[in-house]
A and B are shown apart, each in its own frame.
Chain A
Amino acid sequence: MKKILQLFLGILTAIGGFFDIGNLVTASQAGAAFRFQLLWALALGTLMVIFLVEMSGRFAAVTKKPIPCAVREHLGARVWLAPFVVLVVLHFLTLGAEIGGVAFALQLVTGISFQLWAIPVGILMWLFLWRATFDAIEYSTSTLGLIALCFVVAAVMYHPAKSDVLSGLLPSLPKQDAAKYWLYAVSIIGALIAPYMFYFYSSGAVEDEWDPTYLTVNRFVSVSGMAFGAVITGAVIVVAGLVLHPLSIGVDSINQTAFMLTGAFPFWGFALFAATMAIACVGASTEVGLSLAYTVAQTFGWNWGQSLEPKKDARFALTYTVAILLATLLMVLGIDPLKLTIYTMALNATVLPIVSIPFLLLMNDGHLMRQFRNGPIANAAAGIIVIISIVLFFVSIPLLIVGG
């Protein structure tokens, strides 16, 4: 019974935790510019993230060790140095974008500048992390995050042609704006496989004391949670493709996306959009803040755990405190959350090989993973992930320059 409850909560967490400002922005841009043509990038990214999340959960359940500790212990501190630096920078930028997302949602509703909102948002975020336990954070934000299902309802209510949606799932070449097309494809994948996602998932599994009996739960959660989450992101592409694309509206500002739901929900559409954006970004920013603190604490061997009182893991708590303060400052200084999101998502794609290859190597370590190490299917998927991530490493930055 406990496992069934955990399965349900896990799927809920995965759905709610999947959707954030990165998915919202990249999916809106893709739908607005290329209608449904980039749905294949979402499908590809989802398959990749399902495998990575499943592996990170399996790794935590079998070894009971977080990824940073294991990489440091088994591959050496030097191997972990580059992924560590990259992860800290990326977590920080993502945290800034998510705090900016919450502040921007509040600006939509109140008309007060997001720069002013960033300060109370940062303080509330910190208080939430300081006071709440891991489960409270995980389940409250994820349950509220289900509000994002309004995009799925809207997509159904707008009656897209099924054949058009299905044909978008097949990769196709762009008729024009090739650089922009590939940049958006890379950004969608970058938003889906944000490294914080599988590092957070793995640390959460260690906090929840998973053991090999949780492997079935892990498999169901990673497959169904990520797949349902992808359906929400796909719905954003469809809604943007049906509302913004026919009017030739490109997404150069988040303001240009806020009316996407008003055709389906005339009086609630705007409020639903703002609420979805705020809740999704609150959920993601708590996860990113924690994931950053986990990564730093696990790297240096400090006490860590959101279920501990801050006085028992002071350096862990100090890490997320400083990160939230600095990320809030980014927004106070007036950095555009949309631009920050676009750059961060492209960077996510760029650094994927650096952060994923050491972990994928450990998944094949028979001494560490015993009979639970990667089988042929998981290894084939890992091989494809590595190849795609190396391609992304080389193309992301040039695409950002040419297509951005």
Chain B
Amino acid sequence: MQIRHWLGSLVLVAIAGCKSDTRREAERVDASLSWVATAGTVTKGWVENRLPVRYVERVLGEAHEELARNDEAEGVRIVETLRDAVRRRDAAATREPMASLLARWSALQQRSEQMKSQ
């Protein structure tokens, strides 16, 4: 009886833990959106002298890793360009990738809203 009770609980936990493909995709889009926005915000903060460069480099590294984990190839490419610019301490070189990042953010935002309205 006790074994059956525990098995029942385990099944419930497993069901709760299973996520549908749609939900997984929505989470992937939201995570990418979040890290694209983070990368853009910290780079802007560095260009405006509000954030220290070592912190920005660390966050861009983390964003790169998280975007790669979420198969967000376009975001990974843009963040790589940003990282190079920051590494060279070349604020002017961030302008173009920042514009691409903004465009990517808008596209991901639209996708996220679409998925939520479905």
Contact = CB atoms under 8 A, between A and B. Distances in A.
Given A255-B58, A259-B45, A249 B38 contact: yes
A270 B52 contact: yes
Interface string A263-285: 00011011000000000000000
Nearest to A271: B52
A232 to B, nearest CB: 23
B66 interface: yes
A248 B33 contact: yes
Contact of A258 (B34, B55, B112): B55
Given A259-B41, A259-B45, A401-B16, A266 B33 contact: no
A392 to B, nearest CB: 17
A253 interface: yes
Contacts of A247: 37, 41
A241 B16 CA distance: 29
Contacts of B49: 266-267
A251 to B, nearest CB: 8
Contacts of A143: none
Contact of A249 (B41, B45, B51, B58): B41
A402 B16 contact: yes
A256 B39 CA distance: 9
A270 B55 contact: yes
Given A259-B45, A259-B50, A249 B34 contact: yes
Contacts of B52: 109, 111, 270
A248 B116 contact: no
Interface string A98-127: 000000000011110000000000000000
A250 interface: yes
- Chain B CB count within 10 A is highest, among A108, A109, A259, A269, for A259
A231 to B, nearest CB: 26
Contacts of B109: 248
A35 to B, nearest CB: 15
B72 to A, nearest CB: 14
A163 interface: no
A209 interface: no
Contacts of A250: 30-31, 34
B59 interface: yes
A111 B58 CA distance: 8
A115 B51 CA distance: 22
A248 B33 CA distance: 7
Contacts of B17: 401-402
A111 to B, nearest CB: 4
A208 interface: no
Contacts of A401: 13, 16-17
Interface of A: 108-111, 176, 247-250, 252-253, 255-256, 258-259, 262, 266-267, 269-270, 398, 401-402
14 contacts: A111-B54, A247-B37, A247-B41, A248-B33, A248-B34, A249-B34, A255-B58, A256-B38, A259-B50, A266-B49, A267-B50, A270-B55, A398-B13, A401-B13
Interface of B: 13, 16-17, 30-31, 33-34, 37-38, 41-42, 45, 48-52, 54-55, 57-59, 62, 66, 105, 109, 112, 116
